Amino acid sequence: MSGEIFRDIVAFITIARERSFTRAAAELGVSQSALSHTIRNLEARLGLRLLIRTTRSVSPTEAGLRLLERVSPRFDVIAGELASLSELGSKIAGTVRITASDFAWNTFVWPRLSPALLHYPDVKLEVSNDPALTDIVAERFDAGIRPGDRIGKNMASVRISPDWRNLIVASPDYLAGKDLPLTPEDLVRHACINTRYAMKEGISPWELKKGDGVQACRVDGPLIFNTVYAALDAALAGYGLAYVPEILARPGLENGHLQAVLEAWCPPRQGFHIFYSSERQLLPALSMIIETLRYDPGFMPS
């Protein structure tokens, strides 16, 4: 098979991902007319229609979608390996894409990474603060930040934080005149502030300790957020009970604006890890970030 078809497939993958000939042409550095000619040639060679084109959009056909799903991950691996080879022995540079929840990023990542990045002006960092359990390979991230017990197979990981836990907290105004919950079953009589980290996922259960195990407790209430910061703000405003990281609730607990309940039922969670595909060679820039974030027991987030 000639090398030309590989070039044409790269062009198709770029168009299918961008859903636009205009953006794909800009990314590839070619004209739209040349790109259209390339796709026509590829479709003629394969004897299949790969793209459906309208005046407003571009989308893959069934055959095009299959080609995209089967072939593009392999091209990503090849591109990554070529980039790794080209950077061996060179200065630390390049783009690193990371996904992390806003809590993990603000508390354990940015305070340590920010000073280090000042020494590497050629490193470009792209961050997605997304609390959902993102598939970093499918979404083309170089790494993700996640609790150690939430990391999938075929991933390498490095711990970056101590263990931590959530607490159930509410404002004294909300709790005034109410019976305090003494067991998780008592939560049904309270307004609970929920979190849902992705629309395709269910509402996140409150993982509470019972005996030797942990039970997923489903609660109900008037508010659902996709970030613990909003849930904490709602608890401070008196809307009900929220299940939020203890480190975020600590100022409110110390100044009396919050009160913890069922504290003995709130178990510790595994610390955050930075994880990445074990099948890809690490770029120098990502290696630098991993070593910067590697867990130091002497580091205490503020």
Report, as an integer, the average pLDDT of 195-203: 78
Q: What is the pLDDT of residue 302?
A: 53
Residue 197 shares a structural domain with residue 248:
yes
What does the pLDDT look like over 132-187, one tens digit per residue?
Answer: 777 888 888 999 999 988 887 888 999 999 999 999 999 999 999 999 999 999 99
Residue 137 shares a structural domain with residue 276:
yes
Residue 81 lies in a domain: no
User: Residue 286, class by beta-carbon neighbours within 10 Å (0-12 exposed, 13-18 middle, 19+ buried)?
Assistant: buried
Q: What is the pLDDT of residue 158?
A: 95
Number of domains making up the chain? 3
Residue 244 shares a structural domain with residue 156:
no
Please determine, for residue 87, whether its predicted confidence score (pLDDT) is greater than 60.
Answer: no
Residue 85 lies in a domain: no
Please say whether the beta carbons of 54 and 61 come within 8 A. no
Report, as an integer, the average pLDDT of 60-70: 86
Residue 240 shares a structural domain with residue 174:
yes
Residue 158 shares a structural domain with residue 275:
yes
**Could you tell me the residue range of the domain that residue 27 belongs to?**
3-72
Residue 79 lies in a domain: no
Residue 84 lies in a domain: no
165, two tokens:
């836990």
Report, as an integer, the average pLDDT of 239-264: 97
Residue 231 shares a structural domain with residue 151:
no
pLDDT tier at 1, thresholds 50, 70, 90: very low
Collect all residues with Cβ–Cβ distance below 8 Å to 281 and sequence separation of at least 6: 80, 81, 84
CA separation for the pair 63, 302 (Å, rounded) = 52
What does the pLDDT look like over 274-284, one tens digit per residue?
Answer: 999 887 778 88
pLDDT tier at 244, thresholds 50, 70, 90: very high
Q: What is the pLDDT of residue 34?
A: 86
Residue 190 shares a structural domain with residue 216:
yes
Please determine, for residue 16, whether its predicted confidence score (pLDDT) is greater than 90.
Answer: no
Range of weakest confidence among 72-86, 188-202, 276-290:
72-86
pLDDT tier at 213, thresholds 50, 70, 90: confident
Higher pLDDT, 84 or 186: 186
Residue 58 shares a structural domain with residue 98:
no
Please determine, for residue 254, whether its predicted confidence score (pLDDT) is greater than 50.
Answer: yes
Residue 108 shares a structural domain with residue 168:
no
Please determine, for residue 90, whether its predicted confidence score (pLDDT) is greater than 70.
Answer: no
Please determine, for residue 32, whether its predicted confidence score (pLDDT) is greater than 90.
Answer: no
CATH at 158: 3.40.190.10
Please determine, for residue 79, whether its predicted confidence score (pLDDT) is greater than 80.
Answer: no
CATH at 46: 1.10.10.10
Residue 139 shares a structural domain with residue 260:
no
Q: What is the pLDDT of residue 299?
A: 60
Residue 106 lies in a domain: yes
pTM over 0.95: no
CA separation for the pair 302, 116 (Å, rounded) = 18
Residue 177 shares a structural domain with residue 192:
yes
CA separation for the pair 15, 279 (Å, rounded) = 26
Give the CA dihedral 94, 161, 278, 126, nearest 10 degrees.
-30
Residue 216 shares a structural domain with residue 277:
no
Report, as an integer, the average pLDDT of 61-90: 74
Residue 300 lies in a domain: no
Residue 302 lies in a domain: no
